[in-house]
């Protein structure tokens, strides 16, 4: 597959530009300004770091641009730094644009100096000039350019200013004719006492032809700082022996230097760079750090105030929840009819239904449309949700949320930045694990990130709610509000406990990193920035999740339909259908509408009848009903009197009554057939095969099937239960009543409901989420774990509660209360213990040093 | 020896040296917590941990665990001596 970015420099068409910069320097915004709409997101090979690339054209041709991950420096300690460095060294972009925060040049230029050491053609873009100006900071960019020997441009990414200047500067650097002149000798980093070692190591490196393409001074410096990725680079080029020799040489220099100067090489390197930065900035930057409290300081005095902070946090979380979940859900009331209309259109195109069995093209087609609609239904929610998150991220408050909550979450192996994923997942009631898992991307600590990914699915996603509502309506009419309280708060209790369990066991080997985080200045988010991010993420969701869900929908469809009914049973149902039709024909003997209704017209008429009923049901208001009437009159004027008998027409009335009877009989038959088909299907066999295991939790095969099919999409659990528990059509009972009556008759109790609720709360993430888990962890192994572990946990808990509860004769509400308060108690114990442990370990570690 | 963890909000200190190693040390240095740099402790989080620091032009937060690995000297008690010029 040709990727315009990756081919080696020589064969490349056009120019390759990389954007490098520190976090919060506005790099991505500037990337958008530079590139415009043509951009794509991919992953760097083997890791989950986003690789954003795009392109634009100017007079001289196409320019490919890559937005590197934000990094404070170019060491190899973090994944982002390794990715950025490997790209710069391996792909050797024609031009690298260093995006620097003009209001914090003292720190930004550290990265600039490291980029210079990589000997890359460089442009320095001083971004956020407006922020600098508002703080009274003035930058003499020409002086800075002369000192650095680099083109320096000023930009304001948020306002889209400086694009032309930057594009011209890129062309200027890329053209080898241009000579920027040599940098001011006083501003090249000199590492004073380390220089002799650097020089000698460079001479050694020069003798190795395999290292000829690497910047020598940079490599020497990295080896002296003991950079593990640089060592790996040597191993790749020189093999183990050659590496050992070089490392030993470097090791001797390090030891000599550290004993003589009593300072670590890396500290020395950083402070030398800092002194260089100071010289660079002297006279070039005015007015920095005048000590006046900035706007950010004043806002934080209120927002992060010890007593007010929790209030602002809760208000923010509530606002996100209200705007995206509640209002978004209301919005789906307007968008759902559109999807339903789409379904009607497709249903009209597909081959029409037969009396008993639908053609596979029809049933599979509608099945796929339904699966897609289930996902698309959430699109309005996601658009708002992602926009709300973008606002919080861009404004700078997200980092404050992490700051406030880190203590609690860290105690259980999570991270301050786990808050957002958990909120999106639906901490209280209503969310979705897919954006939740997606949002874990920002968590810098790998172990906490993994723990968050595996606990987000325990939240109450929107699709779990219908099953809870159903079960509470049947078994807990008296204790509904108490049960609702348990269900909506146990999520976080379970999540914290499981996070702790996982970080102590399977995740204990994962990399952790410290919580050292910048609290960026507050910014007013821009409309385009927020919209772009919201659309981008929603589209990602549709693309990634949609395709896979459709594929699996086909598999589930097959599992539900194969092997199909035996010829004998088919004949049985056909005979019943025949009998119903004959009864209908007999009743219409002598009726004026007999010829319209019978013969070839029969099946179309029944379909017409059911379509009409559904259309009436969906129509709102008088105007809606009138439109339906018009539509059906236009569709078939002959049939119309049979679905809406004109007053006084006794024949029509009689025919309508008989038609209704026949339609019901048909519906009942179809349902029986479907139930039998599901029972004998592969999925049904699996459901029954699981009974020996699930019986301890009280689940029979029907519940098993419902839970299995809900893996494809949570919503389908209630729908499947609906099919399985629907028996007699004449009694007009709701699913709650039917299921209640039947399961109670089968000995089911509220205890079974508790067992089901607990299982459902801990049950594996739905298919869409597991795909997201794969995307975010980058491994099928972890995806599998995300399925197997919660299933085992859920089944274990449900079985224990059901078995012990049955043995003790506990009622449902008693069992639930016991589980809930037991979990809360465990949470407190674990929380207190881990605090003690942590402080003991720290004391030991400090005593060692 | 004082660590950054011992400084109350409002205190201004000079960073002397880091006891941490590897990634943590590098991260602290990258964010500007270099030896000889002056920082102000702004506040601690509502639950006491982590803490927020003010540097030259940026605000940085870190857990107390990490703060304990940073040796500092209070500005008012500082003498002319310095470990490394």
Could you give the C-alpha distances from A237 to A210, A211, A246, in angstroms and in order?
Answer: 6, 7, 12
- Residue A849 forms contact with B (CB below 8 Å): yes
Which domains are delineated in chain B? 4-74 (2.30.30.90)
Put the strands of the sheet holding B70-74 in their side by side order: A516-519, B59-62, B51-54, B38-44, B12-18, B70-74
Cβ-in-10-Å burial (0-12, 13-18, 19+) of A590 comes to exposed
Chain A residues with CB under 8 Å of B70 CB are: none
Whether B81 shows a pLDDT value over 50: the answer reads no
Can you tell me the distance from the alpha carbon of A385 to that of A407, in angstroms, rounded to the nearest whole number? 26
pLDDT, residue A253, reads 92
> Are residues A162 and A155 in contact, defined by beta-carbon separation less than 8 angstroms?
yes
Could you give the C-alpha distances from A392 to A60, A304, A428, A634, in angstroms and in order?
Answer: 40, 15, 20, 52
Per DSSP, chain A holds a count of helices (H) and strands (E) of 37, 10
Instruction: For residues B52-64, give the mean pLDDT.
Output: 90
> Are residues A518 and A24 in contact, defined by beta-carbon separation less than 8 angstroms?
yes
Residue A638, CB-side half-sphere exposure with 13 Å CA sphere: 11
Q: Contacts from A213-216 at CB under 8 Å and sequence distance 24+? A: A214/A89, A215/A117, A215/A118, A215/A119
In 3-state terms chain A splits into helix, strand, coil percentages (rounded to 5) of 70, 5, 25
Sole residue written with tokens 């000579």: A179
* Structure-derived torsion over alpha carbons of residues A812, A815, A816, A822, reported in degrees to the nearest 10: 180
CA distance A110 to chain B (A): 8
CB contact under 8 A, B52 and A516: no
- Residue A292 forms contact with B (CB below 8 Å): no
Could you count the other beta carbons within 10 Å of the beta carbon of residue A2? 5
- Residue A510 forms contact with B (CB below 8 Å): no
pLDDT, residue A1, reads 39
The alpha carbon of A381 is separated from its chain's Cα centroid by a whole number of angstroms, namely 14
CB contact under 8 A, B68 and A842: yes
> Among A99-113, A624-638, A712-726, whose mean pLDDT is lowest?
A712-726
Q: For residue A436, what are the contacts with CB-CB under 8 A and spacing of at least 6? A: A421, A422, A423, A424, A425, A426, A456, A457, A459
pLDDT, residue A348, reads 82
CA distance B4 to chain A (A): 14
Closest partner residue to A271 among B22, B35, B50, by Cβ? B35
> Are residues A171 and A60 in contact, defined by beta-carbon separation less than 8 angstroms?
yes
Sole residue written with tokens 């991307």: A441
Closest partner residue to A73 among B30, B48, B61, by Cβ? B30
Residues 63-122 of A with CB under 8 A from B: 72-73, 75, 77-78, 103-104, 106-107, 110
pLDDT, residue A429, reads 58
> Are residues A108 and A128 in contact, defined by beta-carbon separation less than 8 angstroms?
no
Closest partner residue to B23 among A77, A107, A288, by Cβ? A77
Whether A37 shows a pLDDT value over 80: the answer reads no
pLDDT, residue A290, reads 57
Chain B residues with CB under 8 Å of A407 CB are: 45, 47-50
Reported as a single tens digit per residue, the pLDDT across A731-756 is 445 666 666 666 655 556 788 889 98
CA-angle at A642, arms to A636 and A648, nearest 5°: 125
Chain B residues with CB under 8 Å of A404 CB are: 45-47
DSSP for A88-128, written as a single string: HHHH--SEEEEEEEGGGHHHHHHHHHHHHHTT--EEEEEE-
DSSP for A626-683, written as a single string: HHHHHHHHHH-TTTHHHHSPPTT-HHHHHHHHHHHHHHHHHHHHHHHHHHHHHHHSHH
Instruction: For residues A454-468, give the mean pLDDT.
Output: 85
Can you tell me the distance from the alpha carbon of A114 to that of A339, in angstroms, rounded to the nearest whole number? 54
Interface test with B, best of A81, A515, A838 (most B CBs within 10 A): A515
Confidence of residue B45 (pLDDT cuts 50, 70, 90): very high
| CATH superfamily, with its number, for domain A9-187 | P-loop containing nucleotide triphosphate hydrolases (3.40.50.300)
Domain ranges of chain A: 9-187, 192-262, 309-345+358-504, 567-673
Confidence of residue B85 (pLDDT cuts 50, 70, 90): very low
Whether A727 shows a pLDDT value over 50: the answer reads no
Can you tell me the distance from the alpha carbon of A60 to that of A88, in angstroms, rounded to the nearest whole number? 24
Closest partner residue to B34 among A78, A274, A406, by Cβ? A274
Can you tell me the distance from the alpha carbon of A655 to that of A660, in angstroms, rounded to the nearest whole number? 9
Report residue B75 as tokens. Answer: 């500005």
Could you give the C-alpha distances from A326 to A322, A331, A560, in angstroms and in order?
Answer: 5, 9, 34
Report residue A380 as tokens. Answer: 């309005």
CA distance A173 to chain B (A): 28
Confidence of residue B79 (pLDDT cuts 50, 70, 90): very low
Plot region of A415 (φ>0 → left; ψ -120 to 50 → alpha; else → beta): beta
List residues of chain B with CB under 8 Å from any CB of chain A: 17-20, 22-32, 34-36, 42-43, 45-50, 52, 54, 56-63, 65-66, 68-69, 84
Calculate the average pLDDT of chain A: 83
CA distance B3 to chain A (A): 11
Can you tell me the distance from the alpha carbon of A245 to that of A242, in angstroms, rounded to the nearest whole number? 5
Closest partner residue to B34 among A104, A270, A407, by Cβ? A270
Report residue A775 as tokens. Answer: 């995307």
DSSP for A192-224, written as a single string: GGGHHHHHHHHHHHHT-GGGTTS-HHHHHHHHH
CB contact under 8 A, B27 and A77: yes
pLDDT, residue A9, reads 47
Interface test with B, best of A514, A522, A523, A836 (most B CBs within 10 A): A514
* Structure-derived torsion over alpha carbons of residues A693, A699, A701, A703, reported in degrees to the nearest 10: -130
CB contact under 8 A, B43 and A110: no
> Are residues A149 and A178 in contact, defined by beta-carbon separation less than 8 angstroms?
no
Q: What is the DSSP letter of A321?
A: I
Can you tell me the distance from the alpha carbon of A396 to that of A518, in angstroms, rounded to the nearest whole number? 10
CA distance A314 to chain B (A): 14
Chains A–B, number of C-beta pairs less than 8 Å apart: 130
DSSP for A63-99, written as a single string: EEEEEPPP-SS-SSSSHHHHHHHHHHHHH--SEEEEE
Report residue A824 as tokens. Answer: 């809360």
Confidence of residue A594 (pLDDT cuts 50, 70, 90): confident
Closest partner residue to B50 among A309, A310, A406, by Cβ? A406
Chain B residues with CB under 8 Å of A263 CB are: 84
Cβ-in-10-Å burial (0-12, 13-18, 19+) of A50 comes to middle
Chain A residues with CB under 8 Å of B62 CB are: 514-517
Closest partner residue to B27 among A289, A399, A516, by Cβ? A516
Chain A residues with CB under 8 Å of B46 CB are: 304, 306-307, 309-310, 404
Residue of B nearest to A79 (CA): B23
Closest partner residue to B31 among A261, A310, A516, by Cβ? A516
Report residue A454 as tokens. Answer: 């595996």
CB contact under 8 A, A514 and B29: no
Instruction: For residues A119-143, give the mean pLDDT.
Output: 89
- Residue A263 forms contact with B (CB below 8 Å): yes
Chain A residues with CB under 8 Å of B59 CB are: 296, 300, 518-519
CA distance A104 to chain B (A): 6
Instruction: For residues A756-783, give the mean pLDDT.
Output: 87
Confidence of residue A428 (pLDDT cuts 50, 70, 90): low
Chain B residues with CB under 8 Å of A314 CB are: none
Whether A846 shows a pLDDT value over 70: the answer reads no
């Amino acid at each position: 597959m040709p990727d315009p970015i990756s081919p080696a420099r020589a064969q490349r068409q056009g120019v390759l530009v990389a954007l490098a910069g520190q976090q919060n320097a506005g790099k991505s915004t500037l990337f958008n300004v530079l590139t415009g709409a043509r951009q794509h997101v991919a992953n760097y090979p083997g890791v989950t770091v986003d690789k954003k690339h795009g392109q634009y054209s100017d007079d001289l041709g196409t320019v490919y641009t890559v937005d590197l991950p934000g990094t404070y420096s170019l060491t190899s300690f973090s994944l982002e730094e390794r990715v950025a460095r490997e790209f710069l060294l391996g792909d050797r972009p024609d031009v690298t644009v260093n995006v620097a925060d003009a209001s914090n040049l003292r720190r930004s230029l550290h990265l600039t100096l490291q980029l210079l050491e990589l000997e890359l053609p460089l442009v320095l873009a001083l971004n956020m000039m407006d922020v600098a100006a508002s703080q009274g900071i003035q930058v003499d960019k020409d002086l800075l350019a002369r000192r650095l020997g680099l083109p320096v441009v000023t930009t304001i990414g948020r306002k889209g200013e400086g694009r032309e200047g930057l594009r011209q500067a890129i062309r200027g650097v890329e053209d080898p004719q241009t000579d920027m002149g040599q940098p001011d000798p006083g501003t090249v980093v000199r590492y004073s006492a380390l220089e002799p070692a650097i020089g000698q190591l460079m001479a050694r490196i020069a003798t190795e032809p395999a290292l000829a393409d690497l910047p020598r001074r940079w490599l020497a410096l990295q080896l002296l700082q003991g950079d593990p990725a640089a060592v790996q680079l040597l191993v790749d080029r020189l093999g183990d022996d050659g590496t050992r020799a070089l490392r030993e040489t470097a090791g001797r220099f390090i030891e000599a230097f550290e004993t003589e100067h009593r300072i670590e090489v890396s500290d020395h390197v950083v402070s030398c760079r800092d002194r260089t930065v100071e010289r660079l900035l002297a006279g070039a930057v005015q007015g920095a750090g005048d000590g006046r409290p900035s706007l950010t300081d004043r806002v934080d005095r209120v927002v992060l105030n010890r007593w007010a902070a929790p209030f602002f946090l809760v208000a923010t979380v509530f606002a996100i929840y209200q705007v995206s979940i509640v209002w978004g859900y209301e919005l789906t009331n307007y968008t759902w009819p559109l999807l339903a209309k789409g379904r009607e259109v497709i249903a009209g195109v597909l081959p029409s239904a037969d009396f008993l069995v639908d053609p596979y093209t029809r049933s599979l087609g509608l099945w796929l449309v339904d699966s897609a609609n289930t996902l698309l239904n959430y699109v309005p929610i996601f658009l708002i949700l992602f926009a709300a998150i973008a606002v919080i991220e861009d404004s700078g408050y997200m980092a404050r949320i992490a700051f406030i909550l880190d203590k609690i979450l860290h105690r259980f192996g999570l991270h301050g930045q786990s808050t957002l994923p958990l909120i999106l997942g639906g901490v209280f009631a209503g969310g979705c694990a897919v954006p939740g898992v997606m949002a874990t991307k920002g968590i810098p600590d790998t172990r906490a990130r993994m723990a968050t990914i595996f606990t987000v699915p325990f939240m109450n996603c929107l699709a779990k709610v219908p099953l809870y509502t159903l079960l509470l309506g049947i078994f807990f009419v008296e204790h509904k509000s108490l049960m609702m309280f348990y269900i909506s708060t146990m999520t976080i209790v379970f999540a914290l406990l499981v996070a702790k369990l996982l970080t102590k066991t399977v995740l204990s080997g994962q990399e952790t990193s410290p919580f050292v985080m910048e609290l960026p200045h507050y910014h007013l988010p821009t409309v385009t920035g927020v919209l772009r991010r919201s659309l981008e993420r929603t589209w990602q969701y549709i693309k990634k999740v949609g395709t896979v869900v459709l594929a699996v929908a086909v598999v589930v469809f097959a599992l539900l339909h194969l092997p199909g009914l035996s010829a004998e049973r088919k004949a049985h149902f056909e005979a019943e259908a025949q009998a119903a039709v004959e009864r209908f024909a007999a009743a219409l003997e002598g009726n004026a509408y007999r010829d319209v209704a019978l013969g070839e017209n029969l099946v179309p008429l029944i379909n017409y009848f059911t379509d009409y009923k559904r259309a009436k049901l969906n129509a709102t208001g008088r105007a809606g009903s009138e439109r339906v009437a018009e539509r059906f009159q236009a569709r078939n004027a002959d049939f119309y009197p049979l679905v809406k008998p004109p007053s006084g027409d006794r024949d029509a009335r009689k025919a309508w009554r008989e038609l209704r009877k026949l339609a019901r009989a048909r519906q009942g038959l179809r349902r029986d057939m479907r139930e039998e088909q599901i029972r004998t299907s592969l999925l049904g066999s699996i459901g029954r095969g699981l009974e020996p295991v699930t019986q301890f939790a009280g689940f029979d095969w029907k519940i098993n099937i419902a839970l299995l099919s809900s893996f494809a999409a949570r919503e389908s659990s209630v729908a499947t239960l609906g099919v399985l528990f629907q028996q007699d059509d004449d009694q007009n009972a709701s699913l709650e009543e039917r299921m209640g009556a039947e399961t109670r008759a089968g000995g089911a109790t509220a205890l079974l409901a508790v067992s089901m609720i607990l299982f459902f709360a801990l049950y594996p993430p739905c298919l869409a989420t597991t795909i997201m888990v794969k995307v975010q962890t980058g491994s099928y192994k972890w995806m599998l774990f995300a399925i197997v572990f919660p299933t085992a946990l859920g089944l274990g808990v449900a079985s224990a509660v059901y078995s012990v509860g049955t043995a003790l004769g506990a009622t449902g509400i008693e069992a639930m209360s016991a589980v809930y308060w037991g979990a809360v108690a465990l949470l407190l114990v674990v929380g207190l213990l881990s605090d003690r442990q942590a402080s003991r370990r720290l004391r030991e570690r400090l005593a060692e040093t | 020896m004082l660590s950054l963890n011992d400084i109350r909000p409002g205190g201004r200190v000079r960073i002397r040296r880091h006891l941490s190693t590897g990634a943590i040390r590098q991260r602290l240095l990258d964010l500007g917590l270099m030896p000889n740099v002056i920082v102000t402790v702004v506040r601690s989080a509502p639950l006491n941990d982590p803490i927020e620091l003010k540097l030259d032009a940026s605000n940085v937060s870190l857990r107390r665990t990490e703060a304990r690995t940073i040796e500092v000297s209070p500005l008012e008690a500082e003498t002319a001596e310095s470990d490394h010029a």
